Amino acid sequence: MRAPTTTRWTVRLFPCRRPYRLDRRHISRPVSHRQPPGRGHDTDKEPYEVTKRALITGVTGQDGSYLAEFLLEKGYEVHGLKRRASLFNTQRVDHIYEDPHENGRFRLHYGDLTDTSNLTRILSEIRPDEVYNLGAQSHVAVSFEAPEYTADVDAVGTLRLLEAIRFLGMEKTTRFYQASTSELYGLVQETPQTERTPFHPRSPYAVAKMYAYWITVNYREAYGMYACNGILFNHESPRRGETFVTRKITRGLSNIAMGLEKCLYMGNIDSLRDWGHAKDYVRMQWMMLQQDEPEDYVIATGVQYSVREFITWAAHDLGMTLKFMGSGVEEVAVVDRVEGKHAPMVKEGQVVMRIDPRYFRPAEVETLLGNPAKAKQKLGWVPEITAREMCREMVAADHLSARRQALLKTHGLDLPISVEN
C-alpha cells in the first residue's frame, strides 16, 4: 500500500518567481490564554529550549527579516505580526521556514497596527519578553498621498501597542523598542544630529513618527516601562523595498545594464544622507533592550554621502563610468566608458539617468548626518559594513535578478520585472 501523501497548494504570482507555498507553517495556531506557550510547560516536552520570546511588527520588511534571523541565532522564539494584505509578500522570511534547524521557533500571526483588539489578543497569547515595533507606513512620498493612514499606523499604532502592554499588566516584564527615524530632524537645526538635537519634521510620515517617539517616552516616564526609541538614520540592504532611493538606483541601473529598462528617473540627487546596513542596525536595536535602564539612541554611521555619489558607485560596480551633464531638471547622467561584462546592453554616450520633477518632495530634507557617539560609548556599538560595501552587495543581488530576467526574455518570456506587491 502506498504511503499517504501531504497535499500542498501552490499559487504563482509571476511565472519567474519561486512558487509561494501555502502550508501550516505560515499560520500561527491558537494559543491558550491560561498557559502561554513555553511558560509553565514541562520542559522535557518542549522541542527546543526557549531563552526569550520576542514579537516583531513589520517582520516581513527589511529590518524585520534581519532582526528575526538575528534573534533566532541567539536562541529566541520569534513571533512576527503580518498584515492580511501581506499574504504573498513574505519572500524576506520564507527561508526561515525552510530551515529545518529552526524547529518551529518562528511563527507568524495575522494582525494590524490599526486593530486594538487584535494586538491585545496576540500580546496576551504570546506574553513576549521583548516587543520590536518595526511596522509602519515608512515611505515619505506616500505619506503625502495618504497622511491619515500614515498617522493611524505610525502614530496611533504605536500607542495601541504600548497601551495593550500596559492593559495586560506586562509593563514591568515586557521591554519595548520603537523604530524611530532621522526624518524627525527634517529641517535640521544642527549637524551632525544627536539625541539632543531639536526635531523639525517635514512630512506626514515624520510628524507621525514624532508622536510615536514622544508617546514611547511618555509611557516610560509615566508607567515605568522599559521603552526606548532608536532614531535610525537611513539603512539599506538587498532586501530594501524597490521604491526606496538606494534600491531604486541599484535595481534600475542593473536592469539598464541588461537591457530591461532604458533610463533611471530621479528627483533631488544632491540630497545628503547617512547610510548604513540594516544588519548593523538591527544588532543595535537588540542591544538597546539588553541594558539596565532604557534610553533613546541615534543609530547612524557618522558618514555622509549624496544620492549622486550612490548613483556613481552603483554604475561603477556594473562597469559603467558616468559623466553628469546639464543642471537642474535638465541634468542627465551619460555613460562615458563601459568596462567588463556586467553591462552588455549599454553603449558609450547613452543617457542612463534623467531628473523628473515629479520625484521632488513637497518639503525636501536636504541633509541628514547622525552622531552615534552615545551608542559607541555606552553600548560599544559600531557599524561593521560601510556604505560602499553595502552598495556593492545591493548591486550584486539586483544584477543577478536582472540577468535571470534577461535570460527569460531571450526565450520569449517577457515577464514583469518586479517581484514586490
Dist CA 377 CA 335 (whole Å):
44
Q: Which of 66, 205, 219, 281 is catalytic?
A: 205
Dist CA 413 CA 30 (whole Å):
43
- 171, 161 contact by CB (below 8 A): no
Active site (annotated) includes residue 183: yes
How many CB atoms lie under 10 A from the CB of residue 389? 11
Q: Which of 102, 163, 183, 309 is catalytic?
A: 183
How many CB atoms lie under 10 A from the CB of residue 80? 27
* Cα 68 versus chain centre, distance: 12
Measured in degrees and rounded to the nearest 5, phi and psi for residue 213 equal: -60, -50
- Locate cell 541599484: which residue? 250
- Locate cell 491619515: which residue? 148
Residue 106's beta-bridge partner residues? 78
- 129, 54 contact by CB (below 8 A): yes
Measured in degrees and rounded to the nearest 5, phi and psi for residue 130 equal: -135, 140
Dist CA 52 CA 80 (whole Å):
14
- Locate cell 502506498: which residue? 2
Would strands 332-338 and 175-181 be described as parallel, antiparallel, or unpaired? Answer: unpaired
* Cα 102 versus chain centre, distance: 22
Q: Which of 57, 150, 181, 246 is catalytic?
A: 181
Q: In 3D, which of 418, 302, 311 has the Cα closest to residue 370? A: 302
CB-based burial label for 116 (10 Å; 0-12, 13-18, 19+): middle
Omega prior to 37 cis, within 30 of 0: no
Q: In 3D, which of 392, 371, 373, 391 has the Cα closest to residue 381? A: 373
Retrieve residue 284's grid coordinates.
543595535
**Is the dihedral angle over the CA atoms 98, 101, 104, 105 positive or is it negative?**
negative
- 258, 155 contact by CB (below 8 A): no
How many CB atoms lie under 10 A from the CB of residue 209? 30
Active site (annotated) includes residue 205: yes
Active site (annotated) includes residue 301: no
Provide the annotated active-site residues: 181, 183, 205
